[in-house]
Amino acid sequence: MTATVDPAPERPARFVVMYDTPTDVDAFERHYDEVHIPLAKRYPGLRRYTRSHEPAAVIGEPCHMVVMLDWDDMAALEAALGSEIGRRVAEDATVNLARYATFRGMILQLDEV
C-alpha cells in the first residue's frame, strides 16, 4: 500500500506599504481615500485590505500609515501586481501619492507558527 502525501498548503501572501508623514496630510488623505483605495480594492484576488494610521513605533522612526493587502498565495499576489489594475495602482502611487509622502513596500509570504 502506498501512502499519499498531501501537498503543502499554499501560504498566504501580504503586500505591506509604509507611508512617511505627508507634506500635506489633508491632500494626501483625500487622494488616498477618494482615488487610491477604490482603485486598489479592484486588485484581482484581493482578500483583505487594512490600514493603520500613525502606528506606534517600537524600534526606528514612526510613519504616518501602514497598509496591508492580503492574497491567498504568492502567485495570486504576483498576478494582481502584474495586472492592468496593478499597474494603475502603482502609477497612482508613484505619480500622485509620492508628491506628498515617501513610501516603501515589501512582500511577505506568511507562515503560521
Per-residue pLDDT tens over the stretch 7-46: 556 899 999 999 999 999 999 999 999 999 999 999 999 9
Going by pLDDT thresholds of 50, 70 and 90, the confidence category of residue 113 is confident
Rounded CA-CA distance 99/33 in Å is 16
Cell of 8: 503543502
List, in order of start, the domains of the chain with CATH numbers: 13-109 (3.30.70.100)
Q: What would the mean pLDDT of 59-77 be, rounded to a whole number? A: 95
Going by pLDDT thresholds of 50, 70 and 90, the confidence category of residue 107 is very high
Instruction: Please report how many Cα atoms fall inside a 13 Å half-sphere around the Cα of residue 25, on the Cβ side.
Output: 7
